[in-house]
Amino acid sequence: MASESTFDVVSKVDKQEVANALNQSQKEVAQRYDFKGIGAEIDFSGEKILMKANSEERVKAVLDVFESKLIKRGISLKSLDAGEPFASGKEYRIEASIKEGIEQDVAKKINKLIRDEGPKGVKSQIQGDELRVSSKSRDDLQATMALLKTFEDADLQFVNFR
């Protein structure tokens, strides 16, 4: 009897790449002419990333700069959870955070997707903030990976393929 093959579905982000993207964004915001004199800045505020400017349009432009740096560094925007601009005194702010791990409701959606559309012999189970997918056939697992690459709600990676 053949043993089962497995892989784990995770959602992880390289923290160093996020820090690099943030540093590049800080430099660009400091140097760009259209950001001069409007109090535009971007910085870490604990676990959150805080963007500030004197108008809603300018703070959205700061977010746009940060998003472009994340893309250049190979980080999916599905991992960025940016809020709406809000007024704070005389300035506008956007708080953003980087999502890691698969949330419970997203894990349930992935589980349902595998059950409904995946190959028949594939089983999946939620283990904390990741999912373990198992099957007797490695081909079925690869078909499941291809199916999950189309999943829109989270940035997924596949690890521990055995």
Which CATH number describes the domain made up of 5-12+102-159?
3.30.70.860
Instruction: Tell me if domain 5-12+102-159 and domain 15-98 are identical in fold.
Output: yes
Residue 32, φ and ψ in degrees, nearest 5: -70, 140
Tokens 């140097």 label which residue?
31
Residues 146-158, mean pLDDT to the nearest whole number: 85
Whole-number Å distance between alpha carbons of 145 and 58: 40
Q: For residue range 61-82, what is the model confidence (pLDDT) as tens digits?
A: 999 999 999 999 998 888 888 8
- According to the CATH classification, is domain 15-98 in 3.30.70.990? yes
- C-alpha 40 chain-centroid distance: 24
Going by DSSP bridges, is the β-strand pair 5-10/123-127 parallel, antiparallel, or unpaired? unpaired
**What confidence score (pLDDT) does residue 24 get?**
94
Q: For residue range 25-74, what is the model confidence (pLDDT) as tens digits?
A: 999 999 989 888 888 899 988 789 999 999 889 999 999 999 999 999 99
Whole-number Å distance between alpha carbons of 133 and 140: 10
Domain boundaries, the chain: 5-12+102-159, 15-98
Among candidates 21, 17, 72, which has minimal Cα distance to 42?
A: 21
Mean pLDDT of the chain: 88
Which residues share a beta bridge with 125?
132
